[in-house]
Amino acid sequence: MNTNLSGGVSLRTRARRALTGYPILVAPPFIVLFLLTCAPLIHAVWVSLHDWNLVDPDGASYAGLSGYRETLADPYLWEAVGRTVYQVVGTVTLQLGIGLAVALLLYREFPGVRVLRSVYIIPMMMTPVVVGIVWKMLLHTDFGFINWALSTVGIGKLNWLGDSTLAMPTIIGVDVWLSTPFVVIILLAGLQSVPDEVSEAASVDGASYFQQMRFVILPMIRPMIVLAVLFRVMDSIKRFDTIFIMTGGGPGNSTETLDLHAFFTGFQIFEIGSGARIAMVMLVISVTISALLLRFVRSPYEV
């Protein structure tokens, strides 16, 4: 046995013994993660390199990068990208602005604040499919509660989901209602982690409440803000359920975002290879945005 001068087991031996069980502990979750994540991704990449129509399941032919060149040259792809950018920017901007305002409100102590903090997360408890169904009923042109409420103040019926100019803003509004509480939770946690001494010191130096927020508090919770933006951007890019339930990508293709475009390509016209290539484009966009945002996630104390 390898021992040190005091007769005990050496540090090297203890480290070796401690590491011996690591492969046994790590292997099961790694295998599960690989099977659930990596294996489907590898298969999707393989499918994207082939021209494959599900009408003829045995007729897949290798296309290689030429298939990607054809997909990237498709104007419908870039129209879907433009609609996705519109949806993501609109959704995340509103969620961040409203979420920050609500977080600053709930950060303050006043009677009933604990109840409000609990009530405000109710939308997060609903699944997006249920949210889509409920809001589709509320926004019904003839029988929906929203148009009825507007009619009581003299506003005529609006075709929220059937008008190409209103459909996407309506989708954005529903997503803001659904997911803003998530942003509030992250930002509120960041605000509550700021030491009280920081605000007290700024107050002693003569800073107003808004100056404290602008120059002291918000810079300190910058990593939380970036993380909230990162999570919401990733979720908005792949937002499928509520859009599919509420509009199905319509009217026309005014709400057909990139993920719906991939779905329709793969499972309506059965060009599964082209659909996989569109999904790979969406993956590259998501990874690129994530990498750019993660560069801003660092300690607020770093220079």
pLDDT at 79: 95
Say yes or no to pLDDT of 231 above 80: yes
pLDDT at 1: 46
Percent share of the chain, pLDDT over 90 = 52
- 57 in a structural domain: no
Of 58-62, 204-208, 261-265, the range with the lowest mean pLDDT is: 204-208
pLDDT at 111: 85
- 285 in a structural domain: yes
> How confident is the model over 134-148, as pLDDT tens digits?
999 999 999 999 999
- 239 in a structural domain: yes
pLDDT at 2: 47
> How many CB atoms are located within 10 Å of the residue 91 CB?
25
Say yes or no to pLDDT of 21 above 90: no
Are 196 and 48 a contacting pair, CB within 8 Å?
no
Q: What are residue 271's DSSP bridge partners? A: 53
**Higher-scoring residue by pLDDT: 132, 111:** 132
pLDDT at 112: 83
CA distance 170 to 189: 29
> How confident is the model over 57-95, as pLDDT tens digits?
888 889 888 999 999 999 999 999 999 999 999 999 999
- Domain span at 219: 70-294
Structure confidence at residue 261 as a pLDDT band (50, 70, 90): very high
- 221 in a structural domain: yes
pLDDT at 22: 65
pLDDT at 115: 86
pLDDT at 14: 62
- 63 in a structural domain: no
The tokens describing 29, both together, are 């979750």
> How confident is the model over 146-166, as pLDDT tens digits?
999 999 998 988 999 999 999
Residues 6+ apart with CB under 8 A from 226: 293, 294, 296, 297
Q: How many domains does the chain have?
A: 1
CA distance 275 to 295: 31
What is the pLDDT averaged over residues 259-283? 93
- At 150, the amino acid letter reads L
- 175 in a structural domain: yes
Residues 6+ apart with CB under 8 A from 295: none
> How confident is the model over 171-200, as pLDDT tens digits?
999 999 999 999 999 999 888 888 878 877
Structure confidence at residue 9 as a pLDDT band (50, 70, 90): low
160-193 per-residue burial string, b: 16 or more CB within 10 A, e: under 16: bbeeeebbbebbbbbbbbbbbbbbbbbbbebbee
Say yes or no to pLDDT of 299 above 70: no
C-alpha to C-alpha distances, 259 to 96, 172, 239, 243, nearest whole angstrom: 23, 16, 7, 10
Give backbone dihedrals phi and psi of 271, rounded to 5 degrees, phi first. -85, 80
> How confident is the model over 36-55, as pLDDT tens digits?
888 888 999 999 999 988 88
pLDDT at 108: 81
pLDDT at 298: 59
- At 302, the amino acid letter reads E
What is the pLDDT averaged over residues 211-234? 87
- 303 in a structural domain: no
Say yes or no to pLDDT of 222 above 50: yes
Assign residue 201 the CATH number of its domain.
1.10.3720.10
The tokens describing 84, both together, are 């996705």
- 118 in a structural domain: yes
pLDDT at 197: 82
Q: What are residue 53's DSSP bridge partners? A: 271
pLDDT at 5: 46
